[in-house]
Amino acid sequence: MEYGLAAIPFFVILLVSLLFRKSRRKWIYIAAGLYVLLSIGFFLYRPAYIDAQIARKSVELNRYLEQKYPDETWTFWTVPHREDGYEPYNPYVIEVTFANEPDVHYGFMVKRDSIELRGYSSERDSIGELRHWEPVQK
């Protein structure tokens, strides 16, 4: 889907080139080629950029959890965004599972100025049974 959306401006540039004289088309073709190179660079660099952001945010979240829950242990899980089948998931939501609550997975979102608990997944019926639930503050 993303590649298709990136290809649309390329074809628009080629169609627009038909409106100009041959002498000007050369520059439009150069612009189209430059657009293709920039698009390829973007799609090659983007997964590494996402990995770097997730690593940085995981460190911040770990620091936050160490302050908030000093006597507990936890594990992180992040979306394997480079694998097929995980495209619809947000790679920036970091799931945390606490050792004393292994059946609940909390999803945290690390932003520039805050860390928010975005949601959880559990077999339990009530939010009141959750030990680490924090209402989202706006």
Highest mean pLDDT out of 11-25, 35-49, 70-84: 35-49
Q: How many residues does the chain have?
A: 138
Spatial strand order of the sheet with 93-98 comes to 74-77, 93-98, 101-110, 115-121
Out of 35-39, 51-55, 94-98, 116-120, which region has the weakest mean confidence (pLDDT)?
Answer: 116-120
Range 103-131 average pLDDT:
79
Give pTM, 2 decimals: 0.71
